[in-house]
Structure 1
Amino acid sequence: MRRTRGAVGRIRRAGAVVAGCAAAVAAAGLAPTAAQAAQAVPSSGGGAVVRTDAGWVRGEVTREGRQFLGIPYAEQPVGDLRWRPPRPAEPWRGVRDADAFGNRCVQTASWDPGYENPSHTEDCLDLNVYAPEGGERRPVMVWLHGGGLTAGAGEDIVPDAFARQTGAVVVTVNYRLGAMGFLATEGLDQEAADRVSGNFGMQDQQAALRWVRANIGRFGGDAGRVTIAGESAGGRSVCTQLASPGARGLYRAGIVESGAYGDCAGRAHGKAVASGAEFAKKAGCPDPATALNCLRRKPAKDILAAQAGFDWGPVVGGGFLPQQPMKAYAAGSAAGIPVLNGANSDEGRLFVYPRFEGQGKPLTAAQYPGALTQEYGAQVGAAALKRYPLSAFASPTHAFAATAGDRMFACSALRLDRALAGRGPVYGYEFADRTSPPFASIREAGRTFDFGATHVNEVQYLFKHFGLKTPLNREQRALSRQMVGYWGSFIHGGPPRAEGQPTVPDQREHPGQVLSLRTASAGGNTVGTALDGVHVCDLWDSVPAE
Structure 2
Amino acid sequence: MGALLVISLVLLIIYPFGTQGVSLVNVSNGDYVGKVLDCGVSQWLGIRYAAPPLGELRFEPPADPLPETGTQYAYEHGPICLPTGVLPSERSKANFSEDCLFLDVYAPSRAHKQSKLPVFVYIQGGGFNSNSHPRLNGTGLVKASDMGIVVVTFNYRVGPWGFLQNIAEFGGDPDHVVLGGASAGASSIAWHLTAYGGYDQGLFHAAVGESAAWGHVLTAKQARYQFDDLVVRIGCVRNSSEATLTCLRKKPYEEIQMNGFGTPYPGQSLNPLFMWGPVIDYNMFYLPLIQAFKTGKFIKVPVIWGDDTNGGSIFTSPFTSTVAHSNRWMRTQYPFLTLRKLWLLNNAWKNTVKEQKRCPARDCWREQLSQVYGDMRYMCPSIYMSAAFPDQGVNNSWNYRWNVEDPDQITAGVGVPHVTEIPALFGPAFVPAPYLTVPRTYREGEINEKAVDVMQKYWISFIKTFDPNTERAEGSAQWEKFDRKKLSRLRFDTGGKTDMEYVGSELARRCALLFNKVYPTKIGPAKLE
- TM-score, structure 2 as length reference: 0.78
For residue 59 of structure 1, the aligned residue among 34, 42, 55 is 34
1:243 aligns with 2:214: no
1:293 aligns with 2:262: no
Q: CA deviation at 1:59?
A: 0.7
1:6-21 matched pairs, under 5 angstroms: none
Q: Is the 8 A contact 2:107 2:151 kept in 1?
A: yes
1:421-460 matched pairs, under 5 angstroms: 421-423=390-392, 424=394, 425-435=396-406, 448-460=411-423
Distance 2:494 2:119 in 1: 28
Q: CA deviation at 1:386?
A: 3.4
Q: Is the 8 A contact 1:110 1:117 kept in 2?
A: no
Distance 2:432 2:150 in 1: 19
Q: Is the 8 A contact 1:153 1:173 kept in 2?
A: no
Q: Match of 1:151, SS?
A: coil
Amino acid at match of 2:425: L
1:494 aligns with 2:475: no
Distance 2:405 2:239 in 1: 51
Distance 1:538 1:333, change over 3 A: closer
Q: CA deviation at 1:88?
A: 1.3
1:236-385 matched pairs, under 5 angstroms: 236-245=187-196, 248-262=201-215, 266-289=217-240, 290-310=243-263, 311-352=275-316, 355-356=317-318, 363=320, 367-375=321-329, 379-380=343-344, 382-384=346-348
Distance 1:334 1:349 in 2: 30
Amino acid at match of 1:89: P
Provide the aligned length of Structure 1 versus Structure 2. Answer: 456
Distance 1:108 1:55 in 2: 32
Q: Match of 2:98, SS?
A: coil
Distance 1:406 1:323, change over 3 A: closer
Q: Match of 1:342, SS?
A: strand
Distance 1:308 1:109 in 2: 4
Structure 2 counterpart of 1:178: 159
Q: Is the 8 A contact 2:489 2:500 kept in 1?
A: yes
1:228 aligns with 2:175: no
Q: CA deviation at 1:271?
A: 0.8
Distance 2:133 2:350 in 1: 42
Q: CA deviation at 1:67?
A: 0.6
Q: Which has the higher helix share?
A: 1
Q: Match of 1:74, SS?
A: coil
Distance 1:124 1:335, change over 3 A: closer
Which sections of structure 1, spanning at least 5 residues, go unmatched?
A: 1-34, 182-200, 439-446
Q: CA deviation at 1:92?
A: 1.2
Q: CA deviation at 1:330?
A: 4.2
Q: CA deviation at 1:230?
A: 0.8
RMSD: 3.1
Q: Match of 1:492, SS?
A: helix
Q: CA deviation at 1:508?
A: 5.2
Distance 1:294 1:247, change over 3 A: farther
Q: CA deviation at 1:172?
A: 0.3
Q: Is the 8 A contact 1:411 1:532 kept in 2?
A: no
Distance 1:392 1:537 in 2: 26
Q: CA deviation at 1:452?
A: 1.6
- TM-score, structure 1 as length reference: 0.76
Q: CA deviation at 1:279?
A: 2.0
Distance 2:116 2:356 in 1: 51
Q: CA deviation at 1:437?
A: 5.3
Note the alpha carbon deviations across 1:216-246, whole angstroms, 9 max, x for none.
34xxx11211111111111111111111248
Which sections of structure 2, spanning at least 5 residues, go unmatched?
A: 1-11, 264-274, 331-338, 358-362, 521-525
Distance 1:85 1:247 in 2: 21
Structure 1 counterpart of 2:523: none
Q: CA deviation at 1:314?
A: 1.6
Amino acid at match of 1:55: G
For residue 482 of structure 2, the aligned residue among 507, 512, 524 is 507
Q: Which has the higher contact order (CA 8 A, sep 6+)?
A: 1
Distance 1:395 1:296, change over 3 A: same
Distance 2:70 2:389 in 1: 46
Q: Is the 8 A contact 2:351 2:367 kept in 1?
A: no
For residue 408 of structure 1, the aligned residue among 377, 380, 387 is 377
Distance 1:155 1:40 in 2: 26
For residue 478 of structure 1, the aligned residue among 444, 450, 458 is 450
Distance 1:508 1:42, change over 3 A: farther
Distance 1:172 1:528 in 2: 32
1:96 aligns with 2:72: yes
